[in-house]
Amino acid sequence: MTRKMKKQSKRNIEQINIYRAIKSSFLLSLCVPIIMLIYGIIAWDNDLLKIIFMFGLLIFEIIQVTYCVVLYIQVKNNEFESYFVLYMSYYTITIIMLMLASGFDMKAFNSEIIYMAACAYFVFVPVILERERLIMVTIISVIMISMVVIFKMNVRTVVDVCVIQIGTVFLSRYQHNVSFTKERMSSTLKKKTDVSEHDPLTGLYNRRALEQKASAIWPYCERNKVSVGILAIDIDFFKKYNDAFGHPKGDECLKMVAEVLKNSAQRKTDIVTRTGGEEFIIFVQNTDEQNIVQLALKIRRNLEAKAIPHAYKLVSNNVTISIGAATFVPGYGKSFEKLYEEADKALYAAKNNGRNCIVYNGNLYGRIKNGIAQVITM
């Protein structure tokens, strides 16, 4: 596995860990009051150890609720850099608190339920590296040995603790290895899929990915009468750009145009594609004439703001694009290929009418007069 893939795998595991931390903190914050209620009913005799145990559970509840809120805020704000520190501190504190609670539980109520739950939590919830796992195993072992000595637990309890602890050590190693292997295989498969579906220069989807995604989406749109649309986009006089500046600069230009397209079409359902050379396709859903023309004009404005110099100044001093747009509701005789064909015809019309413009349904958009886009019926 390459260093880049290992880094991505580690990042994926960090995201898995923080989501598991949120879920587990939420569930524990719900479970702790129930445990407090049950044990509170049992502990009516005001035994000091039981009171300390109940007070500890209350502190544990406060910690869980606090972490739940902080973890949720971090995910919402996409604060990736502090993921590791936060979820590791959460898991460490939670496991320590669970182990302390299990020691009091065994002494005060002669029960091993919390201890087994704590070990199960450690085995199945966090997915951590071997070094961190060994540190946690050491912490757990030290706490339980201390509890055995301090509370002078009976032989049966000591034997149970040893058996469960040994099982936890081996099972945690097996479970964590399985989790890492699964995640690495998933990352490798995703990497291979990304390579086959993405254009290596711009990172956009390629034609193969476009056709696959369209074929998957089309039946849903046809069944639910959801309108679809295509923007067929071509960089004006790109061959002359390459002739003037060279192919390396041409590649940089393609990347910048691709970035503009990706940043302009930001809905989750928008599929931005490089179909070859200087040609791009944007496939959109749930759109109409006004929305698709507005998107095309937005792309055109954003590219103008980029101000990429062009040596061929017949159309503009900077790089421009021509756009052909088409929309319809899928149905009989209205296939993806038909939609693509209509958008391509509109693109051809845009090129024949001076370029640096948009054509939709026989209308030409984008001629600027006094700062206002003009509509010309063709």
Same domain (yes/no): 54, 102: yes
Residue 283, pLDDT score: 95
Q: Are 87 and 219 found together in one domain? A: no
342 and 283 co-located in one domain: yes
**Residue 179 and residue 251 in one domain:** no
Average pLDDT, the chain: 84
Whether 200 is covered by a domain: the verdict is: no
| Whether residue 185 sits in one domain with residue 71 | yes
Provide the residue range defining the domain that includes 370.
207-377
- Please state the domain count of the chain: 2
> pLDDT > 90: what percent of the chain?
25
Of 166, 195, 224, the domain-final residue? 195
What pLDDT is recorded for position 55?
Answer: 82
Q: What is the DSSP string of 239-275?
A: HHHHHHH-HHHHHHHHHHHHHHHHHH--STT-EEEEE
225-240 pLDDT per residue, tens: 999 999 999 999 999 9
d(CA 350, CA 356): 8
**Residue 202 within a domain:** no
Same domain for 143 and 213, yes or no, is no
**Same structural domain, 160 and 234:** no
SS3 368: strand
- What is the domain-level CATH number for residue 335? 3.30.70.270
Whether 277 is covered by a domain: the verdict is yes
201 lies in a domain?
Answer: no
The predicted structure's pLDDT at residue 255? 94
Based on the fold, state whether residues 297 and 334 are members of the same structural domain. yes
Does any domain span residue 14? yes
Give Cα separations from 93 to 112, 188, 344 (angstroms).
Answer: 20, 33, 60
What pLDDT is recorded for position 264?
Answer: 92
Q: Are residues 152 and 32 in the same domain?
A: yes
Residue 283: Cβ within 10 Å count: 24
Domain boundary among 163, 195, 227: 195
Same domain assignment for residues 259 and 342: yes
Residue 341 lies in a domain: yes
Is position 360 within any domain?
yes
Any residues with CB less than 8 A from the CB of 189 and at least 6 apart, and which?
Answer: none
pLDDT of residue 372: 46
The closest of 233, 190, 270 to 350, measured between CA atoms, is 233
Same domain for 284 and 171, yes or no, is: no
Note the pLDDT of residue 144: 85
pLDDT digits (tens, 9 = 90+) for 190-217: 666 555 678 888 989 988 888 888 888 8
What pTM was estimated for this model as a whole? 0.55
In this structure, is residue 243 part of a structural domain?
Answer: yes
Residue 43 dihedral angles phi and psi, to the nearest 5°: -95, 45
Domain end position, chosen among 195, 222, 251:
195
Regions of the chain with pLDDT less than 70: 1-10, 40-46, 79-82, 187-196, 367-378
Is the domain of 179 the same as that of 52?
A: yes
Give the pLDDT confidence score for residue 233 in this predicted structure: 95
